[in-house]
Structure 1
């Protein structure tokens, strides 16, 4: 268990991480989980939380923090009629199935395994952002069944295992199939909520009663970290969105690709 002074230090560090994740979320249109998970992972390591617990806590807490931010994002996109509700109703059950599968697999996996999965997927996303053309499409329409259901379950499963809201997978998937980018981002915000709620609940249940958890933890979801992350993230997201309108989109994609590359390499290094 952490001492009270360590707890407040942790809260301050995570509030700064929330500022950064919120700013990047607004700047680049991706969920903050891709930033929050590695930040939590390294902060928990500084407090000597064991590796096998560290990644589970980082993922569970990230999913918990995504719930309120996804609700606010969904309401904002819905006001602009950017959410494809028919598509969401079709995708939601299969994404949820993927989340359950991913959460179960994550609960059984070692912390090092989850760290490796995050590092590999972050590297893949970085390569996509760095090299993929924004106008490139592999199909003129979304895939048919059963491939569509498989893709939905993969999005839910990998997102749950990484502690992210799914935007990093959903938006590229939709846009590669000639789907309008604004509708893709808006619909992804709703999918983030579908991923975060069952995912967070699963990490609460599977981590319940586990020895060595930090103060104020419900299973693998640390409430103190959620309370520190969410307000600062919500405050800085509009600032990131404002900056996004003044900077070239290509430059922003390359910047975030470099950030993800550095994050991936640092996660791989922690496994050495």
Structure 2
């Protein structure tokens, strides 16, 4: 990688780490468009470039969430019983999605699905509408089923799942700050299982570049993590001081721009 590639990845890593701590998101999703630019510059195969960007972004969540989890845990903000109840479903869903479904999806369709999910996420951020607390948390089977579905979706878009888990927790009468912090704890099992799935499902793919473990490009992970583990605690600290609702709207507008980029990538992949 060139100095410019490394600098872009480290800059994106610092931003994604900060957002992971501030908003309770994994941060991997916003890395994908920028990694596509870097991977194009490095000459990676177009057949796997989106897969590698998503998988590599998810792998970084392992480290950013660890840092954010510790910061939230020190303030007793995470509901560990809820994290433990949701994790089995999340792990199984992420493993299945990452190993069985992810590689089978064509690059063009994966780009389109990713872009649509970003639009959905950006609307959530801009509106910042909190679901009305209308019920209690479901039983073990309900939590497992919800976790499994969330794991599959998260593994396909390289997200930590907060955009699904936080609204669900709020709807089930979990306090907003607890829901946001707990989403960091839920991001780790999603990222761990999905990353294993990505590597297992793509092992031996002849298009993989040197330095990759399956779809995960290790040099990019190292560049991003080198800075994100330091900025995630800063984001968690600022979450208790800043107007997070306003920041979400700004972030939502930025996501719209990233979605436009991914729609264009999908268009090129379809040959339009």
Output the TM-score relative to the length of structure 1.
Answer: 0.88
- Superposed, which structure 2 residues align to 1:91-240 within 5 Å? 91-103=86-98, 104-134=100-130, 136-137=131-132, 139-144=134-139, 146-240=141-235
**Aligned position for 1:19:** 14
**Secondary structure of 2:206's aligned partner:** coil
Q: Structure 1 unaligned runs (5+)?
A: 1-5
Shift of 1:194: 0.6
Q: Is it true that 1:71 corresponds to 2:66 in the alignment?
A: yes
Answer yes or no: is the 8 Å Cα contact 2:93–2:152 preserved in 1.
Answer: yes
Q: Is it true that 1:40 corresponds to 2:35 in the alignment?
A: yes
Shift of 1:260: 1.2
Shift of 1:144: 4.8
Q: Structure 2 unaligned runs (5+)?
A: 268-272
Q: Deviations over 1:29-51 (max 9, x none)?
A: 32211212222123212333233
1:145–1:268: structure 2 CA closer, same or farther, 3 Å change rule?
Answer: same
With 62-71 and 139-148 compared, the bigger mean Cα shift is at 139-148
Shift of 1:247: 4.3
Answer yes or no: is the 8 Å Cα contact 2:96–2:197 preserved in 1.
Answer: no
Output the TM-score relative to the length of structure 2.
Answer: 0.88
Question: 2-side partners of 1:46 and 1:245: how far apart?
Answer: 39
**Secondary structure of 1:51's aligned partner:** coil
1:29–1:192: structure 2 CA closer, same or farther, 3 Å change rule?
Answer: closer
**Aligned position for 1:258:** 253
**Secondary structure of 1:107's aligned partner:** coil
1:182–1:270: structure 2 CA closer, same or farther, 3 Å change rule?
Answer: same
Shift of 1:252: 0.8
Aligned-pair RMSD on alpha carbons? 2.1
Equivalent pairs counted in the alignment come to: 266
Q: Deviations over 1:187-232 (max 9, x none)?
A: 2122111111121111112222222333311111111011100121
